[in-house]
A and B are shown apart, each in its own frame.
Chain A
């Protein structure tokens, strides 16, 4: 867990110090490549996991319910903040 925070903090420090250098512009593309690589790895571990393959429909339904909860919850709060503060 601590490594997550360290990597993130190190990145923020480097990003802040290098914010005026042109090399920073390539972070976005590098990030996309890293994400592609990781999603491929995630696909590999999902495909080689019997439990996930067999329960894919149930997993999809759970994901849908969590999305509905999170999205509607944030929409109601946003409505209240809009009325109250803006």
Chain B
């Protein structure tokens, strides 16, 4: 929660600095951001590769545990596709690429900015921040109306870090392993889905 606030603050500082017009041309060079992005992806990879939580959930719950990230993915894409009908001026694939952030706002907004520009990148940043915050705020409501897997699916890629505490609290500690597993799988698929939808 505190970390999300710092991230948001840095974004706001960036906007403010740019609006004041004191940015040196060098900083707007796209190459710098691209190389930082590659570093980010490499680091995300290291975290996935070094993680050991991936198989504990599989051992305990068996293969049906894979149904949860599948539900998250199918449900998100179906819902976004439906709502894209009432969003004028945005293509289905652009909407899906934003939805494919699965609350992983830093990675998805940066990827989308790189390939589609800052406008859709900002949509991705805001949409995925909102998704994370919806779980932080509405987790009890989600459990009540959609069951204990609700906040896990809604949390998308964040269920292994930022939303894990609220999931533990409202779904129960027995769902921690599932949440960790779910977060890792979704985390890994975010760059794949985003780049797939942007290339369509």
Contacts and interface: CB of A to CB of B under 8 A. Distances in A.
Interface of A: 1, 3-5, 7-19, 24, 27-28, 30-32, 34-49, 51-53, 55-56, 59-60, 62-83, 85-86
- List of 7 A-B pairs having minimum Cβ-Cβ separation, nearest first: A43-B14, A11-B45, A73-B79, A15-B49, A47-B18, A69-B83, A77-B75
Contacts of A73: 74-80, 82
B interface, over-half SS: helix
Interface in B2-59: 3, 6-8, 10-19, 23, 27-28, 32-33, 36-52
Contacts of B121: 42, 45-46
A66 B149 contact: no
Interface residues of B, number: 96
Given A4-B195, A43-B11, A48-B28, A78 B43 contact: no
A31 B147 contact: no
Contacts of B13: 40, 43
Given A36-B10, A43-B12, A66-B123, 15 more contacts: A4-B41, A5-B195, A7-B38, A11-B45, A11-B48, A16-B49, A31-B43, A44-B15, A59-B123, A62-B87, A63-B125, A65-B87, A71-B79, A77-B78, A82-B147
